[in-house]
Amino acid sequence: MFLDIRLMEQKPISFDEILPPGAIRFDSEFSQAGPILAAGTAAFQEATEEIRVAGTLSVSLSFQCDRCTEPFTEQIQTGFDLIYQPVPTHTPGQEISIKSSESDLGFYEGQGLELNEVIEEQVLLAVPLQRLCRADCRGLCPVCGQNKNEFLCDCPAQRSDERWAALKAIH
Ligand SMILES: [Zn+2]
Ligand SMILES: [Zn+2]
């Protein structure tokens, strides 16, 4: 859905989108386990030429656990309230620097903004940094490779040995 300034000049656009897996191609290490549901409004503020997009989205994503490598799904739910400014006009000989640290502030070019791009960015921001099937996932045994959530092997615990060695080195 294209958020067209000419339409928003008349009245804000309401959106209620259902995006099936594949509608947005995520170049990332997860896949969509269900549709993205995104609802909200987009408004054009004539005085500042800003587009304000606000709403909520939810989606179920499939990840691979960082520790045990088993697949799991997680429900992502997030709200957003974003301001998009027109891309600063380019003056010859002058560098344009767009700071990515200002995450709530984006830029648009031309007649408006593609809603799918807004949604894509919000999903990527909502993805957890640490992907664990559960908070206390025991992971894989570094010796025999067993998934320790399913089976507790009795391989020697190498990690604690290393810690002892480090302690002994201090004393
Ligand atoms: Zn796990
Ligand atoms: Zn083991």
What mean pLDDT comes out for the span 30-48?
A: 96
Q: Can you read off the two tokens belonging to residue 26?
A: 């995520």
Distance 72 CA to ligand 1 centre (A): 8
Phi-psi region of 115 (alpha: psi -120 to 50; beta: other; left: phi over 0): alpha
**52-88: burial string, b at 16+ Cβ within 10 Å, e else:** bbebebbbbbebebebbeeebebebeeebebbbeeee
| Distance in angstroms (rounded) separating the CA atoms of residues 136 and 5 | 48
Lowest mean per-residue pLDDT among 2-6, 10-14, 23-27, 80-84: 23-27
Top pLDDT among 98 and 15 is at: 15
Q: What average pLDDT does range 49-78 have in this prediction?
A: 96
Q: What is the pLDDT of residue 28?
A: 83
pLDDT at residue 135 is higher than 80:
yes
The answer on pLDDT for 77 being more than 90 is: yes
Rounded to the nearest angstrom, the distance between the alpha carbon of 149 and the centre of ligand 2 is: 12
pLDDT of residue 49: 94
pLDDT band at 95 (very low <50, low <70, confident <90, very high): low
| Cα(113) to centroid(ligand 2), Å | 53
Cα 150 to ligand 1 centre (Å) = 10
Q: Quote the percentage of the chain above a pLDDT of 70.
A: 82
pTM of model > 0.85: no
Give the sign of the dihedral formed by CA 55, CA 59, CA 64, CA 68. positive
**What distance in angstroms lies between residue 26's CA and the mean position of ligand 1's atoms?**
23
Surrounding ion ligand 2 within 5 Å at CB are: 141, 143-144, 146, 153, 155
What residue spans of the chain are helical by DSSP H? 5-8, 115-126, 158-170
Distance CA 131, CA 50 (A): 35
Residues 6+ apart with CB under 8 A from 62: 30, 31, 32, 33, 71, 72, 73
> Could you give the 3-state DSSP secondary structure of residue 124?
helix
With 60 as the cut, is the pLDDT of residue 129 above it? yes
Q: How far apart are CA 70 and CA 164, in angstroms?
A: 31
| Mean model confidence pLDDT for the chain | 88
